[in-house]
Amino acid sequence: MIYGIKDAVLTRKADSGSYFETDSRQATAFSAIRQRAYSELNPSTLSASHPNIEFVYDIRPSFPKELIEFTKRELDFAAALWNHVFESKVQINVALLTEQDRQYIRGDAWFENNLPAIFTRFDGRNERPFVAGGGGFWQRSGPWTGNIFLTTASYLDLTNVNYEWPQVTRHEFFHVVQDYVIYKYGRARPSSQSEDALLSPLHFREGGANTVSYLTAFRTRGWSSDAMNWLVWARSSMFRSWMKVESVDDAIRMMAAAEQREPHEAFEMSYAIGAVMYEWVIGTYGLDGFTKMLNQFATAANFDQVLQRSFGLTRSEFYSKVAPYVYETFKAANG
């Protein structure tokens, strides 16, 4: 799956070598859950207006020019979709950087904690380049703000790049949404990753962000479905020796394992299984139901309470209801 950009909008390369902008598959080619989840996250009436969100950009000279307007457009539409979640106007700082910015990031703890290892990978030029990012909502300096960084190789070539790159911008924006709904009323931050997972399990943190990004960033329902299936296939292939989803019971076991960051395989699989889990949520309860879920995080004591308040389900009931869709999606993607 090779993508290009035309007028700041995603295109996709055909076998012929031409780039195209549409997908010929009908909605009925996809599961009812996927159809609804995509439609809910891509309302036909959505504009780029987001009065509750102001972006402040820091764009470094070496950042690939072809990605700049694309990134701004993606953030505008992400903000428009989630504008209703923000109760008052917020500022979101966006930094676009490359490996040439090692000196520039010095003195910024967030950048220094996250970027040098990524820059080193770009320096090596021994793997397919990619787009990486980080996002959240906290008091970085002065008032509480949203913060996003996106980084890629200064020598990026869109014909030779990791297949996930189109969704990273929207994924990181959703991390701002997640942090905002959790901390908007002053909740204390957890002291450990295991404590964090009690309220926001990793399959929600990373997988939920993937649900939103994979179903909104790839322009068409068909491209989104292809990307979701590729995500499930790629992660399943890499970590099949750890755990497979070959039954509904396997799906439940993996969902439970993907609540935490350890072991590493659980962390990696949380992106894929969580993407399918919250696709089911949106495909079942709609965007309104998912928003209701988001709104519980500010005051809920834990994830169990979020589920009970949102859907009237215990965690085990939630996993049992989601598991058949997870199993069928994994089976299809790996078939």
Residue 42 within any structural domain of the chain: no
For residues 111 and 243, membership in a common domain is answered with no
What's the DSSP call for residue 219? S
For residues 16 and 164, membership in a common domain is answered with yes
What's the DSSP call for residue 28? G
| Whole-model pTM over 0.95 | yes
Burial 163-189 (b: 16+ CB within 10 A, else e): bbbbbbbbbbbbbbbbbbbbbbeeeee
Q: Which of 94, 147, 101, 148 is nearest to 122 (CA)?
A: 101
State residue 313's pLDDT score.
Answer: 98
pLDDT 10s per residue in the chain (335 long)? 999 999 999 999 999 999 999 999 999 999 999 999 999 999 999 999 999 999 999 999 999 999 999 999 999 999 999 999 999 999 999 999 999 999 999 999 999 999 999 999 999 999 999 999 999 999 987 899 999 999 999 999 999 999 999 999 999 999 999 999 999 999 999 999 999 999 999 999 999 999 999 999 999 999 999 999 999 999 999 999 999 999 999 999 999 999 999 999 999 999 999 999 999 999 999 999 999 999 999 999 999 999 999 999 999 999 999 999 999 999 999 98
For residues 152 and 287, membership in a common domain is answered with no
Residue 37 within any structural domain of the chain: no
Paired residues of 57 in beta bridges: 94
Asked, as a colleague might, if the bond just before 263 is cis with ω within 30 of 0, I would say: yes
For residues 158 and 197, membership in a common domain is answered with no
Domain residues for 210? 193-333
Helix (H) or strand (E) holding 149: strand 145-152
Residue 322 within any structural domain of the chain: yes
Rounded-to-integer distance, Cα 226 and Cα 138, Å: 34
Which of 153, 183, 213 is a domain's end point? 183
State residue 335's pLDDT score.
Answer: 87
State residue 140's pLDDT score.
Answer: 84
Query: Which string of DSSP letters, residue by residue, matches 36-98?
Result: HHHHHHS-TT--S--TTEEEEEEE-TTS-HHHHHHHHHHHHHHHHHHGGG-SS-EEEEEEEE-
Rounded-to-integer distance, Cα 104 and Cα 125, Å: 21
Rounded-to-integer distance, Cα 201 and Cα 269, Å: 13
Query: How many domains does the chain fold into?
Result: 2
Scanning the structure block, which residue is given the tokens 């003195």? 107
Burial 49-88 (b: 16+ CB within 10 A, else e): ebeebebeeebeebbbeebeebbbbbbbbbbbbbeebbee
Which of 163, 183, 203 is a domain's end point? 183
CATH number for the domain harbouring residue 125: 3.40.30
For residues 173 and 231, membership in a common domain is answered with no
State residue 227's pLDDT score.
Answer: 98
How far is CA 123 from each of CA 16, 153, 335, rounded to the nearest angstrom? Answer: 33, 8, 37
Residue 60 within any structural domain of the chain: yes
Contact of 193 with 260, CB cutoff 8 Å: yes
Which of 128, 153, 183 is a domain's end point? 183
Rounded-to-integer distance, Cα 322 and Cα 280, Å: 7
Helix (H) or strand (E) holding 6: strand 3-6
Q: Which of 6, 69, 41, 48 is nearest to 228 (CA)?
A: 41
Report the amino acid identity of residue 86.
Answer: F
For residues 7 and 148, membership in a common domain is answered with yes
How far is CA 109 from each of CA 116, 169, 172, rounded to the nearest angstrom? Answer: 11, 21, 18
